[in-house]
Amino acid sequence: MDTSLHDEPTSKGFYKLTRANRIGFGAGDLAQNLIYQTVATYLLFFYTNVFGIGPGSAAFMFLVVRLVDVLWDPFVGAFVDKHNPKLGKYRSYLVLGGIPLSGLAILSFWNGFSGQLWYAYVTYVTLSLCYTLVNVPYGALNASLTRDTDEITKLTSTRMFMANLGGLAVQFGVPATIQHFAPDHDWSKPAASPVWFAVMSVYAIVGFGLLVYCFTQTRERVVMDSDKMDTVRYSDLFTEFVRNRPLRVLAFFFVTAFAMMAVGNSASAYYMQYNVGHAEALKWFNALGSLPAFIFMPLVPAIKRAIGKKRMFYVFLTVAIIGMGMLYVISTVPSLKAQLWLVYVAQFVKSTGIIVATGYMWALVPEVISYGEWKTGNRIAGVVNALTGIFFKAGFALGGVIPGVVLAMTHFDAAKAQQSEAAQQGILWLVVILPAILLVLAMYIISKYELEDDKIDEINKEIEARSRS
């Protein structure tokens, strides 16, 4: 294997990436999944069952955090585009932001101030601010490695493969470890809080180490000219959104996709504990949410070449909807619900569609960045990633708010081992019905995306020709 940091480009801008480059970049997403996916998937459950916050209060807090992000993300995007630190224009923030991100993730799962809403606000708000400080530059780093669409596809495939390694560690490893070490193997009670804290500590420390590795294996080579950096403004976020139609399409796709994932992931612990009645099986249910990535993500470049990227979205979004339909039928027929293997099959089918469709969407971000550069002459990768960050966090906001609201409306009570029929139905809506509706909407949105591979290749070649003239 060629382990050199970079190959020579075949032509300016269209750099070929080594396997080490791709794995190193993917390590950054693996790291963020270990840290932030743990927060996104389990923090609501931790708050309501262990920390002692009501679901309504938690839902409102999640909304407040996302509103803060709306103000913070464009500031970070403009800041990273306007500056060029010695350690790297984008990759330096993996280390500088990764330190506080890791520490705050650990503190968010500390029960020292049990039930104190102010502590939850302080830790979660600052955690989210630090996540933006890592995630926006990391997204911009993707677009700075090469213009080559085939290389971007390979890079995204590797990135999502590794991201789902992190997802598997979170979805399987977190419940398996906490349930194993918790008193009476019950992770849903305050007595389990030291185990929650210890597990998050391990995940955060390992995640930070992976961010450092990503820093060492990547280098920015397709960036804005230094003489244009002073022209970047906070307002570029709004002007770019108005003039860049492919960006608008992708942004709205991000909202629906992340809302769908966040709603389903947040509800999975409730679903397995109260609807299926097998809390101990959550680790296997969640593992099947990541397992298809190791089968299908390496095949994405070939699938895209065979049927095109838009058809690929249609096919796999449809597969996800079919899986959700299976899960609904199984969950509403008692004789089928008793067959746990059927729940697993439905989860695998659903996850296959979700993983490919939501994994490949990241390959479209460099495309909309290049489109904006083609239109204006400025490659504002940080601003564009801040904008997509706002929209995927808006999706996360819906994913955090909606479960809390639904649980409150259906009178979910964490103190009860057996939930009411209304509460169980509300949980099923969160796991299946609402995500399926969002997927149908996502399919419509992506149908409006206009940058096919031949068009984006022409755009990139024209940009490079301009720079040489």
User: pLDDT band at residue 443, thresholds of 50, 70 and 90?
Assistant: very high
Count CB-CB contacts under 10 A for residue 151: 18
| Distance (Å, whole) CA 5 – CA 18 | 7
pLDDT in the model for residue 8: 44
Q: Indicate the CATH number for domain 22-222+229-468.
A: 1.20.1250.20
| Distance (Å, whole) CA 6 – CA 26 | 16
Determine phi and psi for 16, rounding to 5 degrees. -95, 135
pLDDT of 415 above 90? no
Average pLDDT over residues 48-57: 90
User: pLDDT band at residue 454, thresholds of 50, 70 and 90?
Assistant: confident
pLDDT in the model for residue 23: 95
Sign of CA dihedral 135, 60, 256, 376: negative
Per the document, the length of the chain is 469
Which 3 state secondary structure label does DSSP give 84? coil
Q: What is the mean pLDDT of the chain?
A: 87
Average pLDDT over residues 232-246: 78
User: pLDDT band at residue 278, thresholds of 50, 70 and 90?
Assistant: confident
User: pLDDT band at residue 224, thresholds of 50, 70 and 90?
Assistant: low
- Under a CB-based contact definition with an 8 Å cutoff, are residues 87 and 80 in contact? no
Average pLDDT over residues 293-308: 88
pLDDT of 392 above 80? no
pLDDT of 230 above 70? no
pLDDT of 232 above 70? no
**What percentage of the chain exceeds 90 in pLDDT?**
40
pLDDT of 119 above 90? yes
Sign of CA dihedral 31, 391, 42, 292: negative
- Tens digits of per-residue pLDDT, 154-179? 888 898 889 889 988 998 899 999 99
Average pLDDT over residues 250-269: 87
In terms of pLDDT, which residue wins out, 162 or 381?
162
